Amino acid sequence: MQRSPAVAGQFYPAGSESLRRILSELIPSAPRPLDAVGVVAPHAGYIYSGAIAGRTLAGVRIPKTVVILGPNHHGTGHPAAVYPAGNWSTPLGQSAIDAVLAERILAACPAMAPDTTAHRYEHSLEVQLPFLQVLASDVLIVPICLRYAPVEKLLAMGEGLASAIASAGEGVLMVASSDMTHYEPGDIARQKDERALKRILDLDPGGLYEVVSSERISMCGVVPVVVMLEAARRLGAASATLVQYGNSGDVTGNQSEVVGYAGVVVS
């Protein structure tokens, strides 16, 4: 199965040379990348959130395989869709699916299913891939596209994901793709996002789900972040560090209605 780019030319450049050029500007040099269990990285257009995503991913070692978890913005396909085999392409080339790990994840997570439909037009996973291809050209990926579910179900997915990753016997990085508060004034967005980020930095997936729900924080990737955090905890993660927080108004100069972005490393 071959997945072609859905948002090249929209969220990032469609030409390989122009894409490499912008990524060279967004990805800083990191002389000592850290070993990490997971990261949270934003997924807006590169002009808005690419600097935060680049700084976050450049700061960690990219192992052989990366599991990319993203929200399903379109509502199509299975609610917990694992892309099971084949390749994903971007203007930079193809990245193969780690079909062995995908099979292990499906076996360990009964709520997940092999499904390509959910991934067809979804940008939240695709925009992470060019960063990974620059940082580790031979990286293998397992894309997982998630819709809302009760927190107990998400924590069970995290437990299963951790079991599958542990059984792989090699380092695997999880990238949870999420933007933060959407379309509120910059100061309000920061206040809300600080409450959500506190739960992330505390490695508290259940608390994150609760505060986002109870305070109506429009964090689009709360589901993949909850799953990643639970898996990370079970894999022995002991800390989380905020790399950078910002919003779209930092780029446009207009703080009246922004989208928040955060980069977090879990290790």
Task: Output 30 or 238, whichever has higher pLDDT.
Answer: 238
Q: What is the pLDDT of residue 170?
A: 81
**Domain positions in the chain:** 2-266
| Whole-number pLDDT of residue 77 | 98
Residue 10 vs residues 6, 45, 121, 229: alpha-carbon distances, Å: 9, 7, 12, 30
Q: How confident is the model at residue 138 (pLDDT cuts 50, 70, 90)?
A: very high
In the chain, the percentage of residues whose pLDDT exceeds 90 is: 97
In this predicted structure, what is the pLDDT of residue 252?
97
Q: What is the pLDDT of residue 224?
A: 98
How many angstroms separate the CA atoms of 197 and 78, rounded? 28
Rounded percentage of the chain residues whose pLDDT exceeds 70: 100
Please tell me the predicted confidence (pLDDT) of residue 165: 98
In this prediction, residue 15 carries a pLDDT of: 98
Residue-level pLDDT at 218: 98
- pLDDT for 180: 98
Digit-coded pLDDT (tens) for 205-235: 999 999 999 999 999 999 999 999 999 999 9
| 169, pLDDT greater than 90 | no
Q: Are 60 and 35 in contact (CB under 8 A)?
A: yes
Q: How far apart are CA 97 and CA 67, in angstroms?
A: 10
Rg (CA), the chain: 17
Question: Is 219:196 a contact under the CB 8 Å cutoff?
Answer: yes
* Residues 116 and 145 sit within 8 Å (Cβ to Cβ): no
**Is residue 95 pLDDT above 80, yes or no?**
yes
Average pLDDT, the chain: 97
- Nearest alpha carbon to residue 180 among 69, 266, 258: 258
pLDDT for res 30: 75
Alpha carbon distance 166, 230 (integer Å):
14
pLDDT of residue 250: 97
Q: Give the residue-averaged pLDDT of 103-132.
A: 98
Select 2-266's CATH number: 3.40.50.300, 3.30.470.10, 3.40.830.10, 3.10.290.10. Answer: 3.40.830.10
SS3 assignment for 198-233: HHHHCCCHHHHHHHHHHCCCCCCCHHHHHHHHHHHH
Which amino acid is present at 142?
A: V
pLDDT band at 202 (very low <50, low <70, confident <90, very high): very high
SS3 state at 39: strand
Residue 67 pLDDT greater than 90, yes or no? yes
- How far, in Å, CA of 50 to CA of 44, rounded? 7
> What would the mean pLDDT of 139-152 be, rounded to a whole number?
98
pLDDT band at 92 (very low <50, low <70, confident <90, very high): very high
The DSSP string of 129-183 is: HHHHHHH-TT-EEEEEEE----HHHHHHHHHHHHHHHHHH-S-EEEEEE----EE
> If pLDDT is split at 50, 70 and 90, which confidence band does 178 have?
very high
Residue 71 CB coordination number (10 Å): 24
